[in-house]
Amino acid sequence: MRLLGEEGVVLTRAGDDEYVVYTEAEGVVIEKVSIRRAEGSYSGAVSVDEDSATVKDCDLRGTVIAEEGAKLLLQKCTVHDVAETAADVEGTAVIQDCILQDSPDANGN
C-alpha cells in the first residue's frame, strides 16, 4: 500500500482512542500528507502493528506508535499537538530529521 499526497491532502477521523491511519500490512509507505486527529479527540495519527511502514515528509497531529514487532521509519515529519507523547515505540523505530512540537515529551524524555 502506498499513500502519496499532493499539497493540501489531509486525512482525518473523528473517533476517540483510534488512529487516523492504522496498518497491519507489510511495506506501507505514507508520504507528503497531513494526518490530523479530530479537534478535541485523543486519537493518534499513525499506528503500525506487527509489520513495517515508512512515514515520510508528513505533517502529523497526534501520536505515532510502533506496536511490538513493528518496524517504523519516520523521516522528515513534523509531529505536534499530541496528548501525551509524540512517539510510542514498543517495536523498532528509526526517527530521522523530524520535528516534535507541542508535546510533553518534546524534550526527549
What's the structural domain count of the chain?
A: 1
Q: Say what the pTM is.
A: 0.78
Q: Classify residue 106: in a domain, yes or no.
A: no
Q: Read off the pLDDT of residues 56-108 as tens digits, 9 standing for 90 and up.
A: 999 998 889 899 999 999 999 999 888 788 889 999 999 999 998 876 655 54
Q: Classify residue 105: in a domain, yes or no.
A: no
C-alpha 95/C-alpha 74 separation (Å) is 5
| Alpha-carbon distances, residue 78 vs 10, 15, 24, 25, 26 (angstroms) | 14, 22, 23, 23, 23
Average pLDDT over residues 10-17: 51
What is the domain range of residue 69? 2-100
